Amino acid sequence: MQYAPQVYDCVMTTALAAEAAHSTDPKVFKDKMNEVTKDGTKCNTFATCKKLLDDGKDIDYDGVSGPLDFQESGEPGKTTIEVFGYDKLGKLKTLSTKESSIS
């Protein structure tokens, strides 16, 4: 599952935005999606992030795929890209990992 980390982070960001908005209504919590990924106290698990939110703190969720830092458009401001290839035995492996930023 090459995109499992990104899918996991999507679910986590959605859940944390709902927690931050104190609502399960997407029309309400959509406005918190960007906020929970930047400019706050760093956290990387649901339990840690939720505790910070419960304590009234602003959070900056860094996902399993890397930091997200959503931009105003709702797109991640940073992303980690893995370049895959095959070794001599034909096994899939990561050749390199690169981080890109959107300014």
pLDDT in tens, 8-30: 999 999 999 999 999 999 999 99
What is the reported pLDDT for 2? 67
Structure tokens at 90: 């034909």
Percent over 70 (pLDDT), the chain? 96
Structural contact between residues 87 and 64, judged by C-beta atoms closer than 8 angstroms:
no
The whole-number average pLDDT for the span 42-60 is 97
Domain count, the chain: 1
3-state secondary structure at position 46: helix
Helix or strand holding residue 94 (H, E): strand 92-101
Distances (CA, A) of 77 to 37, 59, 73, 86, 90: 10, 16, 10, 30, 34
More confident: 73 or 58: 58
Does the pLDDT at position 1 exceed 70?
A: no
> What percent of the chain shows pLDDT beyond 90?
58
The parent domain of residue 56 ranges over 4-101
